């Protein structure tokens, strides 16, 4: 093994372009690491069509597909029927398949190792939850886990929203700690990448010395790039807002609509909502009931990233009124487009958004969020240049802290340190 070219075994249960945010994370890790290292990717067979479509295996790499669809498919369909409005609940139930996948992957990788395959280091990048306890340390190589993003509690001041999101199921996450203890995942990890302070605090104190901070999300700076600032809002020009995400309860989109209604009599305001989900019909009806039918544009088809970036650049302000957001990738993408952002100060957004890049909204209840949005809208109209400056600061941070190349540089440096015994 050359010091510069460790052979990497990359486990990405979710991995594929255009397949959702976590799958996109897996795809970025794979597609970018292969430019630097020899990579063996192990992933679920459901990702094969998307990976085949982009030419996988990529040069200097191998892809191993693990098939547990006999279990995963029925489990997902059951969860989707039981929890039609709750993306989190569907995820929690269907994520049990990961343990089937991990056991099957370990068996297959042991077989290949016996046949002569060799890797220097193992990195398990998806799922991004601490519930994803892997046993790949049994291959006898240093294991890097994450970046994990989890450990987030429930917000105390949005009971109606959390009830609609089947929050009663969230304590199931605590079972992940028991699974982790049984599997020895954290105990045997060489390094654990942690996205937020909540994630770090959720990890047993004895494992925290091996934790390394790294946000799980990154930005493709070639796609999410700045464009000209829209003409400032005024009497004949609307304030343009953008939201990107699933139309599900915890995203808090109804609060955005209420805030728009409150200012509709004093300014022209428009919003684009990019994303589909089970609440689409309800939100269309609410927009109409609030007199906003001609001011809210729904884009529910699966847009390519370039089109999402264009919608962000067309806005004066990016809004994420989500009340329980572990990460906040869309905030980073909007910042990379040089647009100011506003979000509820809970979870991941609380560690991303401040007055220098936008406006953090208090997580103290619906009225506080709606009032905070109203104040932000008025301030953008009153001081457009100050808000453009916030967008420029967001762009600077996105380039320096959140670009994928910076993340890959940090990961490769970590691999080398671990292999050198540092």
> Where does 249-386 show beta strands of DSSP type E?
269-274, 296-299, 317-320, 341-344, 358-361
Residue 192 has pLDDT above 90, yes or no: yes
Q: Among 105-109, 179-183, 325-329, which stretch is predicted with the lowest mean pLDDT? A: 179-183
Burial class (CB in 10 A: 0-12, 13-18, 19+), 45: middle
Same domain, 383 and 372: yes
Residue 229 lies in a domain: no
Same domain, 69 and 166: yes
CA 188 to CA 142: how far, in whole Å? 8
Of 33, 21, 25, 73, which Cα lies nearest the Cα of 57? 33
Residues making up the chain, counted from first to last: 422
CA 343 to CA 219: how far, in whole Å? 18
User: What digits encode the pLDDT tens for the residues 279-310?
Assistant: 999 999 999 999 999 999 999 998 999 999 99
Long-range interactions of 30-34: CB distance < 8 A, separation 24+: 30/56, 30/58, 30/61, 31/58, 32/404, 32/405, 32/408, 33/8, 33/408, 33/411, 33/412, 34/58, 34/59, 34/60, 34/61
Residue 224 lies in a domain: no
Number of domains comprising the chain: 2
Instruction: Say which CATH number the domain at 257 has.
Output: 3.40.50.2000
What is the pLDDT at residue 2?
Answer: 44
Same domain, 391 and 412: no
Of 240, 260, 302, 242, which Cα lies nearest the Cα of 277? 302
Long-range interactions of 17-20: CB distance < 8 A, separation 24+: 17/50, 17/54, 18/50, 18/302, 18/304, 19/47, 19/50
What is the pLDDT at residue 308?
Answer: 97
User: What digits encode the pLDDT tens for the residues 202-254?
Assistant: 899 999 999 999 988 889 999 999 999 999 887 789 999 999 999 999 999 99
Residue 171 has pLDDT above 90, yes or no: no
Residue 415 has pLDDT above 90, yes or no: yes
Residue 223 lies in a domain: no
User: What digits encode the pLDDT tens for the residues 313-335?
Assistant: 999 999 999 998 888 899 999 99
CA dist 418 → 117, 130, 329, 394, 414 (Å)? 21, 21, 28, 33, 6
Residue 60 lies in a domain: yes
Same domain, 213 and 108: yes
Higher pLDDT, 159 or 358: 358
User: For residue 251, what is the enclosing H or E element?
Assistant: none
Residue 247 lies in a domain: yes
Higher pLDDT, 96 or 3: 96
Where does the pLDDT of residue 1 fall: very low under 50, low under 70, confident under 90, or very high at 90 and above? Answer: very low
What is the pLDDT at residue 236?
Answer: 82
Same domain, 268 and 126: no
Same domain, 177 and 259: no
- The fraction of the chain above a pLDDT of 90, given in percent, is 72
Residue numbers of the domain that contains 341: 239-401
Same domain, 31 and 103: yes
CA 346 to CA 154: how far, in whole Å? 9
Where does the pLDDT of residue 368 fall: very low under 50, low under 70, confident under 90, or very high at 90 and above? Answer: very high
Higher pLDDT, 26 or 93: 26
User: What digits encode the pLDDT tens for the residues 57-78?
Assistant: 999 899 999 999 998 778 778 7
What is the pLDDT at residue 327?
Answer: 81
Same domain, 409 and 309: no
Q: How many CA atoms does the CB half-sphere of 201 hold within 13 Å? A: 7
pTM: 0.84
Same domain, 195 and 276: no
Same domain, 37 and 181: yes
Where does the pLDDT of residue 103 fall: very low under 50, low under 70, confident under 90, or very high at 90 and above? Answer: very high
CA 177 to CA 194: how far, in whole Å? 15
Torsions phi, psi of 288, nearest 5?
-65, -45
10 Å Cβ neighbour count for 159?
Answer: 13
Residue 379 lies in a domain: yes
What is the pLDDT at residue 164?
Answer: 63
- The fraction of the chain above a pLDDT of 70, given in percent, is 91
What is the pLDDT at residue 131?
Answer: 78
Kindly state the average pLDDT of the residues 366-395: 97
Torsions phi, psi of 354, nearest 5?
-145, -175
Same domain, 358 and 391: yes
Which token pair is 108? 């297959």
């Amino acid at each position: 093994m050359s010091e510069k070219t460790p052979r990497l075994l990359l486990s990405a249960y979710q991995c594929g372009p255009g397949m959702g945010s976590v799958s996109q994370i897996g795809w970025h890790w794979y597609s970018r690491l292969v430019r630097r290292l020899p990579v063996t990717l192990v992933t679920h067979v459901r990702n094969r069509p998307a990976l085949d479509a982009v030419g996988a295996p990529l040069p200097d790499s191998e892809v191993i597909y693990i098939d547990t669809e006999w279990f995963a498919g029925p489990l997902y369909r059951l969860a989707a029927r039981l929890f039609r409005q709750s993306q989190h609940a569907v995820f929690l139930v269907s994520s049990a398949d990961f343990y089937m996948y991990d056991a099957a992957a370990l068996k297959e990788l042991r077989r290949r190792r016996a046949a002569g395959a060799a890797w220097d280091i193992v990195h398990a990048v998806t799922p991004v939850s601490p519930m994803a306890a892997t046993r790949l340390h049994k291959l006898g190589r240093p294991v890097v886990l994450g970046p994990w993003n989890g450990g987030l509690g429930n917000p105390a001041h949005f009971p109606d929203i959390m009830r609609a999101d089947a929050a009663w199921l969230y304590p199931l996450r605590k079972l992940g700690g028991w699974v982790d203890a049984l599997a020895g995942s954290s105990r045997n990890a060489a390094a654990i990448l942690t996205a937020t302070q909540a994630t770090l605090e959720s990890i047993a104190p004895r494992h925290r010395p091996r934790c390394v901070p790294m946000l799980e999300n990154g930005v493709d700076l070639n796609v999410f790039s700045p464009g000209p600032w829209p003409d400032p809002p005024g009497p004949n020009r609307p304030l343009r807002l953008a939201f990107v995400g699933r139309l599900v309860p915890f995203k808090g989109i109804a609060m955005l609509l209420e805030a728009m209604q409150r200012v509709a009599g004093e300014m022209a305001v428009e919003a684009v909502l990019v994303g589909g989900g089970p609440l689409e019909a309800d939100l269309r009806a609410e927009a109409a009931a609030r007199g906003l039918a001609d001011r809210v544009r729904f884009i529910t088809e699966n847009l390519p990233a370039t089109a999402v970036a264009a919608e962000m650049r067309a806005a004066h302000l990016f809004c994420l009124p989500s009340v329980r957001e572990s990460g906040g990738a869309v905030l980073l993408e909007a910042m990379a487009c040089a647009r100011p952002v506003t979000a509820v100060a809970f979870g991941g957004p609380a560690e991303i958004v401040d007055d220098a890049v936008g406006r953090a909204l208090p997580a103290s209840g619906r009225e506080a969020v709606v009032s905070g949005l109203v104040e932000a809208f008025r301030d953008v109209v009153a001081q457009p240049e100050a808000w453009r400056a916030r967008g420029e600061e967001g762009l600077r941070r996105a380039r320096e802290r959140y670009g994928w190349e910076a993340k890959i540089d940090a990961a490769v440096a970590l691999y080398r340190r671990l292999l050198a015994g540092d």
